[in-house]
A and B are shown apart, each in its own frame.
Chain A
Amino acid sequence: MSFEQFLFYFFSAILVGSAVAMITVRNPVHAALFLVLAFFTSAAHWIMLEAEFLGILLVLVYVGAVMVLFLFVVMMLDINVARVREGFVRLLPVGLVVAVGMMVVMAMVVGARVFQVESPGRADADYSNTEAIGQLLYTEYVYPFEIAAVILLVAIIAAIVLTLRRRPDSLYMDPAEQIKVQRKDRVRLIKMEAEKK
């Protein structure tokens, strides 16, 4: 086994292990952290495939931004894990039978012996896959790329529609109003006669 193969199996084992752990651990924070580990090891796979740009993107975007936000949400929400997990043990045997059955069938049908692909060979040292991806993305794949952008826009709209609530009863300050305030809004000078004793 070459060193590269060793690395592949090493990262794959961690990837599969952390993916399984992610759906089985009880604590949602641990689950999110396992997902981070899974993303890291997939990024390692990308880099081994010489797709460095995608690997780094996965770490920056998913691990750096998405998962951190996700962790924030998990920590802020008080999710009753015990109630969510009701029925897990009861349904586990059925789920296991189905999952194992599926895995056996899939291994029989789409094993490695079916998908034998020639290795594309190594790229030159000065080959930039960032440039290659950029060129393809904005030429050949511009139509799917734009649709993906629209999907993200819809996700933003949907998230705001479903969560933004204007509550007139909540107390808040408007900084713009605060800055614009003038003396006459706050202080009232009243001229009055001095009172006689």
Chain B
Amino acid sequence: MTFEIPDFIPVIPELFLLGMACFILVADLFIPQARRDITYGLTQFSVLGALVLTVWLAAPEVRITMSGTFVADPMSDLLKSVVLLISAVVFLYARPYLMTRDLYRGEFYVLGLFGVLGMMVMISANSLLTLYLGLELLSLCLYALVAFNRDSTQAAESAMKYFVLGSIASGVLLYGMSMLYGITGTLDIAGVTAGILTASGEFNMALVFALAFVVVALAFKLGAVPFHMWLPDVYHGAPTPVTLFISTAPKIAGLAIIMRLLVDGMGPLHADWQGMLLILAVLSLAVGNVVAIAQTNIKRMFAYSTISHVGFVLLAIMAGTTEGNAAALFYVIAYALMAAGGFGMVLYLSRQGFEADNIQDFRGLNERSPWFAFIMLLLMAAMAGLPPTLGFYAKLAVLQAVVQVGFIWVAVFAVLMSVIGAFYYLRIIKFMYFDKPEDRTELSRGMDVNVVLSVNGLLMLGLGIFPGILMSLTAAVR
């Protein structure tokens, strides 16, 4: 048997992150609690270092290495960069919260880094095996992070729920993959596509059967209705920094595996999965937007808002065109930025012994801190999809793609649901600007959080006025 040593250069960012995560794991043992900032600094160094390496090694051609299990292409370069950037922001927002709650421990960062590594593996997966392993690596870190605050029974309960349902979803995904392997005889994603094209007629039913399992599992992981039940409870029960982490970067990685497995791998079956995604998208839009109105807890509200955003992403994928795929990438990146800012604001308002996870806690924010009330206004406007913010262009791109393939009634429905959804975003703006504050505790965070949160909010406006910057990036990779 001959074996060539694979080309390690495209895998360098992953190798760097893995090495740093292992180093931090050991180094953290020797760092006393008072010097935990060193662990934090090392974590930021590894995430930003991996980001620099990813950007530096980015190339316009497709590089397949590691015996065909790893692929680096423009899409993976873009998505990995965004995931790393957002993870760095998440770690930054999370720090004051962790410090005031006795959660400022090295394991948080180690688990977080391994989770980021899992996302990078998912984004670069070129075989069913690596795709599944990356997903498991990410999920395992997330389960542990949700239960990270061990003294909270609520967190333990939601972690348990997340673990059980997530494991079922993983099992369903594996079952679908095993069917695909049985039909096509290969784990390689390009091989699966070729196998589907050449599979004889008697396999048609079995292929759709495998497809159904794969779609259900992916819907579970993204939180699309009717597989969304875990999402509000997990968002609500988890410590806010973990909710922030779950709701941002993993969604990008989730879209990446949909791109790899469904759009690329099972592309020949587009006619079959189009209908499935259409049902998921329509239900997600309806449930996400309508149920969110009844929520009083802002984390639950954001959970339902996530469901409705997932509906939009699935609509774009459903179109099955290059424009649709680019719109989905654009939407999910925009969403991750909005969610990072939204949860960043919840973290900004929280302090020792006070979670600020009630919608009422935003009352009169304008009097307490006009600047951050303005930032929250931008974020909420972007989530609602009001022009001229980023959210508007994200929704517009999706609707254009949907109308192009002739699903006009779906586009109309999506707009209607967005209008309903705008209510609960605008309600927060009303609380901030037209109500009196009940709690006048001074808001002050470190300079780093202030600056990054402001930039995050202003990006909503900046990228909204110049959507071409991000749009051209996502259009170029699809």
Question: Could you tell me which A residues sit within 8 Å of B by CB distance?
Answer: 106, 108-110, 114-115, 135, 139-144, 147-148, 150-151, 153-155, 157-158, 160-162, 165
Contact = CB atoms under 8 A, between A and B. Distances in A.
B98 interface: no
Contacts of B205: 108-109, 114
A152 B127 CA distance: 20
Contacts of A161: 107, 111, 144, 148
Interface string B135-156: 0110011011001101000000
Given A109-B209, A141-B67, A147-B134, A154 B144 contact: yes
29 contacts: A109-B205, A109-B209, A110-B179, A114-B202, A114-B203, A114-B205, A114-B206, A115-B206, A135-B1, A139-B1, A139-B3, A143-B11, A143-B66, A143-B69, A144-B127, A147-B121, A148-B133, A150-B114, A150-B137, A151-B137, A153-B22, A154-B114, A154-B141, A154-B144, A157-B110, A157-B144, A161-B107, A162-B147, A165-B150
Contacts of A106: 209
A153 B21 CA distance: 11
Nearest to A152: B140
B129 interface: yes
B46 to A, nearest CB: 15
Given A108-B205, A109-B209, A141-B129, 20 more contacts: A109-B205, A114-B205, A115-B206, A135-B1, A140-B3, A143-B67, A143-B69, A143-B70, A147-B134, A148-B133, A150-B18, A151-B137, A153-B22, A154-B144, A157-B25, A157-B144, A158-B141, A158-B143, A161-B111, A161-B144
Nearest to A136: B1
B140 A155 contact: yes
A150 B25 CA distance: 13
B206 A110 contact: yes
B137 A147 contact: yes
Contacts of B140: 151, 154-155, 158
Contacts of A110: 179, 206, 209
Nearest to B128: A144
Contacts of B11: 143
A176 to B, nearest CB: 17
A110 B265 CA distance: 21
Contact of B111 (A109, A144, A148, A158): A158
Contacts of B143: 158
B69 A144 contact: yes
A72 B284 CA distance: 44
A147 B144 CA distance: 18
B167 to A, nearest CB: 13
Nearest to A147: B133
Contact of B144 (A135, A139, A142, A162): A162
- The SS class assigned to the B binding surface is helix
Q: Interface SS of chain A: helix, strand, loop or mixed?
A: helix
Contacts of B3: 139-140
B22 to A, nearest CB: 8
A157 B67 CA distance: 30
Contacts, number: 80
A114 to B, nearest CB: 5
A150 B147 contact: no
A147 B133 CA distance: 7
Interface in B56-92: 66-67, 69-70
B130 interface: yes
Contacts of A140: 3, 67
Contacts of A109: 205-206, 209
Contacts of B121: 147
Given A154-B141, A161-B111, A144 B206 contact: no
B182 interface: yes
Interface string B177-205: 00100100000000000000000001101
Nearest to A155: B140
Nearest to B121: A147
A114 B182 CA distance: 10
Given A151-B140, A161-B148, A141 B133 contact: no
Which A-B residue pairs are the 7 nearest by beta carbons? A158-B144, A143-B66, A139-B3, A147-B133, A140-B67, A161-B107, A109-B209
Nearest to B124: A143
Nearest to A158: B144
Interface string B1-15: 101001000010000
Contacts of A144: 69, 127, 129-130, 133
B117 interface: yes
A24 to B, nearest CB: 19
Contacts of B209: 106, 109-110
